[in-house]
Structure 1
Amino acid sequence: MNMRRTARNAVGIVAVAAVALALAGCARGGTDNGGGGGSAAPTSPGVTDTTLTIGITTPLSGATAGPGTCTVAGVTAYFGAKNADGGVKFGDGKTRKIEIKALDDGYDPQKAKANYDQLKDSVFLMGMGLGTPTNRAWREAATADKVPQVLVETGDPIFSDQSQSPWQLGFVPTYLNEGEAFGKLLAASGSDHKVAVLSQNDDYGKGYVEGFKKGIEGASNITIVKELTYEATDTSVDGQLTEMAATKADVFFNAMSITPLVISALQKAQQLNWKPSWFLPSNTSSPGAILTPGKASAFPGVYSVAFSASASSPAFADDADMKAFLSNLKTYANYPDVPAFPHCIWSYMSGAVLDQVFQKMTTPTRDEFMKELRTISDFQAPLMLPDTAVDTTVDGQPAVSSVVVQKYNGKGYDTVSSFG
C-alpha cells in the first residue's frame, strides 16, 4: 500500500468521524449525560436514544499507519452500511446509529493515554485500536473508570484475562496462540530443523517466542540455534540478520510488528544469500504490503497464520461478503484501495461482533454491554475462514483464538496441514 495514500485516507476517516460526532451531538439536544431526550432508562456516556459513539485510539501516522488506518476503516465501513440501512436495533427496542471518533496515537503509548483521556467521557466504549504498548498504556485507567476497552488488535493475553482486565477483551488470537501453531507445524514435520529467532523486545515478541517454544516442547528434531531481539524503535535489523545468517539455520522465526523492518529483513537475508523458511506473525505477513516488496518468493516457504479471508487474494475475488466489504470500505470509509493489511477485515469483523452485542443489550449501559459481550459463541463473522469462529465465553482467550496455518504462494496464501 502507498503510505502517502494511507496517511491521506487516515485524515479522511478522522474528518468523517468528527463530523458524524458533531451531528450526533446535535441530535442529543444538548444533554450532558448522554441520556437522550429525557428517557427514564439508565444510560452511560456516549449513548442516546438515537446514537451510540465508539472511540478509537490507533496509529494513523508513522511506520504502522497502514494497519492502524485499517483498524478505523473496517469498523467505519461496517457501521456506515448499517447506518445507511437505518441503524442497529438494540435489545431495548430502540434503533441507533453508530458513530466513530478516531484519534491518532502514532504508536506512541503516551499519546494513546492522552487520547483515552480526551475520549473517555464522550464515548460509550473504546476499542479496535492497534498495538500492545499503546493499548497497555491506558488499560489500568479504563479499568478504574469502567470504560470498555474491547476487541483491541493486540495478541497480548492480559486483555483477555478477566481477573486482571475485567473491562477488556482482545479480538485477535494471542501471540501464544500463533507461536504455538507454528511450533506444532514444525515439530510435526518429523525432519530435523535448525531455527533462528528474532523477536521484538517487548510483550509482543516474548509472547510469540513463548508460544513457539511451547509448540516444539519435547520435539527432538527442532533446535533453536540463535535468539536475538530488536527494539520497536530500531530503524534497522541488519546486524541481527548477519548474525543469524552465519548459523545457517533453515528456519527463521521472525516475531516482528514493524512493517518496514520486516521488508528490510527479507531483503537483507537475500543479500546475505541466507534463504531459510520464514514464519511471520499474522499482522506483518501481508502479500501486497510486505511479501511482494520484500521479494519473499525467493525463499522456500513463508508461513503465517490467519482466521480471515485476504482481500488481495484471488481466491476470494468473487466472494459475496468480500464484494460487500470492499464496496462498504470505499463508500463509507473513504478507502478506495483493496487493503493490503488484514486489519481492515479484522475491524470489519469487530463491527459485526459489536452488532451482535448491541442487539442483546436490554439497557444502554456499559455494564450491560460487558455482560452481553461475554456471551457470543460460535459466531461466524463475515469473512472468517473455515474452522475458525468468534467465541467470547472463554476466560483467558480473545474473541478469536483459532487459527489456520498458511503458506505464501506468490500472490496470496494456501492453507496447509504440514511443513515443507
Structure 2
Amino acid sequence: MSFVARRMAAFSTAIILLGVTGTGAIAQKSYDTGATDTEIKIGNIMPYSGPASAYGVIGKTESAYFRKINAEGGINGRKITFISYDDGYSPPKAVEQARKLVESDGVLFVLGALGTPSNSAIQKYMNEKKVPQLFVASGATKWNDPKQFPWTIGWQPNYQSEARIYAGYILKERPHGKIGILYQNDDFGRDYVKGLTDGLGAKAASMIVGEESYETSNPTIDSRVVALKSGGADIFMSFATPKFTAQAIKKAGELGWKPLFIINSTAASTAAVMKPAGIENSQGIISAAYQKDATDPQWTDDAGIKNFDAFLTKYFPEGNREDQFVLFGYSVAQTMADVLKQCGDDLTRANVMKHAASIDGLLLEGLLPGVTIKTSAADFAPIKQFQLRKFKGERWELFGEIISSEVGQ
C-alpha cells in the first residue's frame, strides 16, 4: 500500500471512530420537553390563596431551595427553573394550571402539587400526557397505584395508614372511649375516616358516636364541634386542613371540652395551627410525625437542622422554622434534587419517573431517625414510618417508638 493510500485509510478510520465516539456522546444526553444542556423546568401548583393557603409556604420553600441549588452550580451543571402557580385549592383551577405548565411552559414534570382534590383532578391528564406527577403533597392512598397511574407518585405517608396508628393508640389508651370525628368532605377526609374505622375493627361501630363533615367553602366549623361534644364524645378526632383544625381547637377550648384530642399530621404546624388556636387550648393534643420539629431542643446540635437553619438564613429568611410545612418543602425539594442527580444526562420523562420509583433508603436531613425514603416499580409510597407526639408547652414532644404503617396497606 502506498504512503498516500495508508494515510487515506488511517484518515478514514479516524473519521469512523470520531463518528462512533460522537454518536456515543450524543446518545448519553437525552432530553424531553423541559430539559436542555443548561436548564431543567419544574412545574408546581400550590394553594397560595383560599381555604388551604397555610400550605402555600411549601411552594415558597421549594422555590428557595432551588435558588440555593442554582447558586451552587445547579444539578449536573443545569440550573432549575421552578414555575409555581396558585390554584386556590380549587380542582378546576388546578386543571387549568396543569395544562398551562405542560402545554405552555413546557415543564419536564410537575413536582409537589398540593391537595387531594387538586391532584385527583389532574391525575388522569398527567398520566395521559405521560408527564410525571411527582411527590404529590397529599397522603391519599390513590397515589400508590403504579399499574393504573404509572406517572403519579406520592411522598408523605398515606392518610389511612396514619389513622390506623391513631386507632391502635386509642384501643390501647382508651378502649372504652366514645369517638367524635370531624372530617373534610372529600377524599382527604374520607381516607382518614376509613383508616380509623379499619383500625378500630369490630369496635368501630360501638366506639364512634358521631361524625361531622364540612366543606372547604364553609366559613366555620364551630357548630360541628358543638354537635360532637353534645353527642357524648370523649375522644375528638379532627381530620382537617390547618384553617379548620385551628378553629376546632379554639372552639373546644371555648366550650371547656377536654377530650382525648387527636389531629392529623398534615395540620399539626405549631406556627400555622397550634399558636393561632391558642397555646392554652392546644395542650395535650396528640398527633403523629415523620419529620423533625426544628423547635425541639433535642435537635439543637443536629447537623441536619443546622443545615436547614443555614438555608433559611441565606435563601429564605422569611421562612418560619416553627412551621412544619417549611421543613416539608425543604425535604421534598431535597428528594427531587437527589432523583435528578441520579438521572445524569438522561432527562427524559420516562427516566425521571424510573429514578423516582427506585429510591433505595434515602436519608433526609429533616426526617426523624429511622424514617427513610424508599420506592420501587411496584410501590409508590415513599414514607411508611411515624412516631406519635404530644403538644406540651409551646412545642411537640415525641413519645414511643417509630411505628411502621406498612401492615395493612
- One-letter code aligned to 1:114: E
> Could you tell me whether the CA contact under 8 Å between 1:311 and 1:338 is conserved in 2?
no
| Cα deviations by residue, 1:88-142 (Å, 9 ceiling, x for unpaired) | 22xxxxx212221111111111111111111114111101121111111111111
Q: Secondary structure of 1:293's partner?
A: helix
Structure 2 unmatched runs, 5+? 1-24, 402-409
When residues 52 and 226 of structure 1 are mapped into structure 2, their CA distance, relative to the original with a 3 A threshold, is same
Structure-2 residue corresponding to 1:135: 119
When residues 43 and 340 of structure 1 are mapped into structure 2, their CA distance, relative to the original with a 3 A threshold, is same
Q: Could you tell which deviates more after superposition, 247-256 or 298-307?
A: 298-307
Correspondent of 1:111 among 93, 96, 102:
93
When residues 61 and 317 of structure 1 are mapped into structure 2, their CA distance, relative to the original with a 3 A threshold, is farther
- One-letter code aligned to 1:115: Q
Matched, 1:414 2:401: no
Aligned length: 373
When residues 301 and 308 of structure 1 are mapped into structure 2, their CA distance, relative to the original with a 3 A threshold, is same
Matched, 1:158 2:145: no
CA offset at residue 213 of structure 1? 1.5
Structure-2 residue corresponding to 1:353: 335
CA offset at residue 298 of structure 1? 3.9
| Cα deviations by residue, 1:302-331 (Å, 9 ceiling, x for unpaired) | 111111112333443443322322332343
> Could you tell me whether the CA contact under 8 Å between 1:313 and 1:411 is conserved in 2?
no
> Could you tell me whether the CA contact under 8 Å between 1:185 and 1:417 is conserved in 2?
no
Structure-2 residue corresponding to 1:65: 53
Q: Could you tell me how far apart the structure 2 residues matched to 1:242 and 1:415 are?
A: 30
Q: Could you tell me how far apart the structure 1 residues matched to 2:376 and 2:222 are?
A: 43
When residues 329 and 112 of structure 1 are mapped into structure 2, their CA distance, relative to the original with a 3 A threshold, is farther
Structure-1 residue corresponding to 2:407: none
CA offset at residue 216 of structure 1? 1.7
Structure 1 unmatched runs, 5+? 1-37, 90-94
CA offset at residue 394 of structure 1? 6.8
Correspondent of 2:61 among 65, 74, 85:
74
CA offset at residue 56 of structure 1? 0.4
Q: Could you tell me how far apart the structure 2 residues matched to 1:179 and 1:416 are?
A: 17
Per the normalisation by structure 1, the TM-score is 0.83
When residues 330 and 299 of structure 1 are mapped into structure 2, their CA distance, relative to the original with a 3 A threshold, is closer
Structure-2 residue corresponding to 1:278: 261
1:378-393 aligned at under 5 Å gives the runs 378-393=361-376
Q: Secondary structure of 2:286's partner?
A: strand
Q: Could you tell me how far apart the structure 1 residues matched to 2:321 and 2:120 are?
A: 27
Q: Could you tell me how far apart the structure 2 residues matched to 1:194 and 1:394 are?
A: 41
Q: Secondary structure of 2:138's partner?
A: coil
Q: Secondary structure of 1:416's partner?
A: strand
Larger Rg: 2
1:168-183 aligned at under 5 Å gives the runs 168-183=152-167
CA offset at residue 396 of structure 1? 4.9
Structure-1 residue corresponding to 2:287: 304
| Cα deviations by residue, 1:161-217 (Å, 9 ceiling, x for unpaired) | 112221010111111021111111111226421111111111111100111112222
Correspondent of 2:109 among 103, 110, 125:
125
Correspondent of 1:268 among 241, 248, 251:
251
> Could you tell me whether the CA contact under 8 Å between 1:406 and 1:415 is conserved in 2?
yes
Runs of 4+ in 1 over 4 A off after TM superposition: 218-222
Determine which structure has greater relative contact order: mean sequence separation of CA pairs < 8 Å that are 6+ residues apart, divided by chain length: 1
Structure-2 residue corresponding to 1:327: 310
